Amino acid sequence: MWREALPELRRIAEDLGLEPRETQFFEVTAHELYALAATGLPGMYSHWSFGRNYERERTRHDQGRARIYELVVNLEPAQAYLLDQNGDAEQAFVAAHVLGHVDLFGRNAFHRQQRLDMDRVLAAASLRFETYARQHGPQAVERTIDAAHMLMWHATPEEMAPPHPPADPPPDPYAPLFPGARRDPDAGRARRRADAERARRSLGERDLLRFLITHAPVEDWERDILATVREAALYFLPQARIKILAEGWASFWHKRILRAWRAPQGWAVQEARLHAWVAGPGDRRLLNPYWLGLTILEHLAAQGVDILSLAREESDRSLVGRIDERLVYSDDTLREVALQIEARREPGDPPAWEILRDALVRAVPALPEVDVHVREWDARRLVLEAETPVEERYARVVLQALARLWRGEAWLVAPGQELKGVAV
Amino acid sequence: MIADRISQDVQRHKERVREALKSRLPEVVAREDIVTAPTGRRLRVPVRFLDDVRFRPAPPAGDDATPAAGGEGLPGLDHEEPAVEVELTLEEIADLLFETLRLPNLQPKTAEDETPQEAVEGVARQGPAPRLDRRRTLLERLKTGGPLREDHLRFRDARPRPRPVARAVVVFVRDASGSMDDDKRFRVRAAAFWTLSWLRRQYPHVESAFVVHDTAAEEVDEHAFFHVGVMGGTLISTGLELAAEILEARYPRQEWNRYVLFFSDGENWPGDREDLIAAVRRLHEACELVAYGEVEAGRGPHRALDILQPLAAQLPRYRAGTIRHPAEVAGWLGAVFGGGGHVA
pLDDT in tens, B147-159: 888 888 888 877 6
* Nearest chain A alpha carbon to B74: A393
B192 shares its domain with B83: no
Q: Is residue A27 part of a domain?
A: yes
Q: Report how far residue A214's alpha carbon sits from residue A383's, in angstroms, rounded to the nearest whole number.
A: 16
Tell whether B5 is within 8 A of chain A (Cβ): yes
What number is the average pLDDT over the span A281-302?
Answer: 81
Tell whether A277 is within 8 A of chain B (Cβ): no
- CA-based nearest distance A261→chain B, Å: 35
Burial class (CB in 10 A: 0-12, 13-18, 19+), B145: exposed
Judge contact between A98 and A277, C-beta under 8 A: no
Residue B117 or residue B49, greater confidence: B49
Q: Which one of B4, B10, B14, B55 would you mutate to disrupt binding with A, by most A Cβ within 10 Å of its Cβ?
A: B55
Point out the domain boundary residue: B141, B161, B181.
Answer: B161
- CA-based nearest distance A151→chain B, Å: 7
List, for residues A46-91, the tens digit of each pLDDT value: 999 999 999 888 887 877 767 788 999 999 999 999 999 888 888 9
Tell whether A35 is within 8 A of chain B (Cβ): yes
Interface of A with B in 109-128 (CB under 8 A): 126
Q: Is residue B59 part of a domain?
A: no
Q: Is residue B290 part of a domain?
A: yes
Burial class (CB in 10 A: 0-12, 13-18, 19+), B293: buried
Q: Report how far residue A203's alpha carbon sits from residue A162's, in angstroms, rounded to the nearest whole number.
A: 9
Q: Is residue A168 part of a domain?
A: no
Q: Report how far residue A85's alpha carbon sits from residue A71's, in angstroms, rounded to the nearest whole number.
A: 14
Q: Is residue A170 part of a domain?
A: no
A17 shares its domain with A100: yes
List, for residues B169-195, the tens digit of each pLDDT value: 999 999 888 788 888 888 998 999 889
Q: Report how far residue A202's alpha carbon sits from residue A103's, in angstroms, rounded to the nearest whole number.
A: 38
The rounded mean pLDDT for chain A is 90
Q: Closest by alpha carbon to A297, among A247, A351, A365?
A: A247
Domain span at residue A49? 2-108+242-322
Beta-carbon neighbour count of residue A294 at 10 Å? 25
Q: Report how far residue A42's alpha carbon sits from residue A32's, in angstroms, rounded to the nearest whole number.
A: 10
Q: Is residue A24 part of a domain?
A: yes
B254 shares its domain with B232: yes
Assign residue A353 a region: left if phi > 0, alpha if psi is -120 to 50, beta otherwise? alpha
User: How many structural domains compose chain A?
Assistant: 3
Q: Closest by alpha carbon to A80, among A18, A35, A24?
A: A24
pLDDT at B82: 47
Instruction: Please list, in sequence order, all residues whose beta carbon lies within 8 angstroms of the beta carbon of residue A273, skipping any fewer than 6 positions away.
Output: none
Judge contact between A73 and A23, C-beta under 8 A: no
B122 shares its domain with B189: no
Q: Report how far residue B215's alpha carbon sits from residue B235's, in angstroms, rounded to the nearest whole number.
A: 5
Q: Report how far residue B45's alpha carbon sits from residue B27's, in angstroms, rounded to the nearest whole number.
A: 11
Q: Is residue A221 part of a domain?
A: no
B171 shares its domain with B287: yes
Domain span at residue B146? 117-161
List, for residues B69-120, the tens digit of each pLDDT value: 333 333 333 334 445 667 777 788 888 888 878 777 777 676 654 455 566 6
**For position B178, which CATH number holds?**
3.40.50.410
Contacts of A38 in chain B (CB under 8 A): 6, 9
Contacts of A404 in chain B (CB under 8 A): none
Q: Closest by alpha carbon to A111, among A96, A119, A101, A98?
A: A101
A103 shares its domain with A9: yes
Burial class (CB in 10 A: 0-12, 13-18, 19+), A61: middle
Q: Report how far residue B36's alpha carbon sits from residue B45's, in angstroms, rounded to the nearest whole number.
A: 15
Tell whether A52 is within 8 A of chain B (Cβ): yes
A250 shares its domain with A297: yes
The stretches of A289-331 forming alpha helices (DSSP H) are 289-302, 307-310, 316-320, 325-330
User: How many structural domains compose chain B?
Assistant: 3
Q: Is residue B208 part of a domain?
A: yes
H-helix or E-strand containing A375? strand A372-377
Chain center to CA of A21? 22
B145 shares its domain with B216: no
B279 shares its domain with B302: yes
Q: Closest by alpha carbon to A1, among A257, A274, A270, A264?
A: A264
Q: Report how far residue B101's alpha carbon sits from residue A218's, in angstroms, rounded to the nearest whole number.
A: 35
pLDDT at B281: 92
Q: Closest by alpha carbon to A11, among A24, A20, A2?
A: A20
The stretches of A108-184 forming alpha helices (DSSP H) are 109-112, 118-136, 138-151
Q: Is residue B25 part of a domain?
A: yes
pLDDT at B158: 74
Angle at A232 between CA A229 and CA A233, to 5 degrees: 90
Residue B87 DSSP symbol: E
Q: Is residue A13 part of a domain?
A: yes
* Nearest chain B alpha carbon to A416: B58
Q: Is residue A122 part of a domain?
A: no
Backbone angles phi, psi at B218, to 5 degrees: -150, 140
B187 shares its domain with B232: yes
A252 shares its domain with A343: no
pLDDT at B2: 55
The rounded mean pLDDT for chain B is 79
pLDDT at B76: 34
Judge contact between B248 and B283, C-beta under 8 A: no
pLDDT class of A167 with cuts at 50, 70, 90: low
B250 shares its domain with B276: yes
B257 shares its domain with B319: yes
Torsion over CA: A206, A211, A212, A217 (sign) = negative
Number of CB pairs < 8 Å for A and B?
115
Contacts of B74 in chain A (CB under 8 A): 393, 397
What number is the average pLDDT over the span A188-193?
Answer: 80
Tell whether B76 is within 8 A of chain A (Cβ): yes
List, for residues A85-111, the tens digit of each pLDDT value: 888 888 998 999 999 999 999 999 999
Instruction: Please list, in sequence order, all residues whose beta carbon lies within 8 angstroms of the beta carbon of residue A174, skipping any fewer than 6 positions away.
Output: none
B150 shares its domain with B275: no
pLDDT at B74: 33
What number is the average pLDDT over the span B205-218?
Answer: 90
Q: What percent of chain B has pLDDT over 70?
A: 79
Contact at CB, B49 and A36, closer than 8 angstroms? no
Q: Is residue B109 part of a domain?
A: no
Among A170-174, A371-375, B326-330, the range of highest mean pLDDT: A371-375
Instruction: Please list, in sequence order, all residues whose beta carbon lies within 8 angstroms of the beta carbon of residue A217, skipping any fewer than 6 positions away.
Output: A379, A406, A407
Percentage helix, strand, coil for chain B under 3-state DSSP, each rounded to 5: 45, 20, 35
Residue B31 or residue A148, greater confidence: A148
B83 shares its domain with B139: no
Q: Report how far residue B163's alpha carbon sits from residue A391's, in angstroms, rounded to the nearest whole number.
A: 59
pLDDT class of A281 with cuts at 50, 70, 90: low
* Nearest chain B alpha carbon to A142: B12
Residue B70 or residue A4, greater confidence: A4
Q: Tell me: pLDDT of B211 over 90.
A: yes
Judge contact between A398 and A420, C-beta under 8 A: no
Spell A79-107 as b/e; 16+ CB within 10 A means b: bbbbbeebebbbbbbbbbbbbbbbbbbeb
Among A278-282, B123-127, B238-242, the range of highest mean pLDDT: B238-242
Angle at A284 between CA A281 and CA A285, to 5 degrees: 25
pLDDT at B163: 66
H-helix or E-strand containing B45? strand B42-47
Q: Is residue A215 part of a domain?
A: no
Contact at CB, B55 and A388, closer than 8 angstroms? no
pLDDT at A290: 86
Before A77, cis peptide (omega within 30)?
A: yes
Q: Which one of A31, A44, A55 would you mutate to disrupt binding with B, by most B Cβ within 10 Å of its Cβ?
A: A55
Before A368, cis peptide (omega within 30)?
A: yes
Residue B33 or residue A153, greater confidence: A153
Q: Is residue B61 part of a domain?
A: no
Q: Is residue B181 part of a domain?
A: yes
pLDDT at A306: 96
Q: Is residue B207 part of a domain?
A: yes
Among A173-187, A318-332, B34-48, B164-178, the range of highest mean pLDDT: A318-332
Q: Report how far residue B332's alpha carbon sits from residue B344's, in angstroms, rounded to the nearest whole number.
A: 8
B226 shares its domain with B248: yes
Q: Report how far residue A185's alpha carbon sits from residue B71's, in angstroms, rounded to the nearest whole number.
A: 59
Angle at A181 between CA A176 and CA A187, to 5 degrees: 95
Q: Is the ipTM, as predicted for this complex, more than 0.90?
A: no
pLDDT at B152: 87
Q: Any idea which of A8-22, A150-164, A197-211, B283-297 has the lowest mean pLDDT?
A: A150-164
pLDDT class of A270 with cuts at 50, 70, 90: low
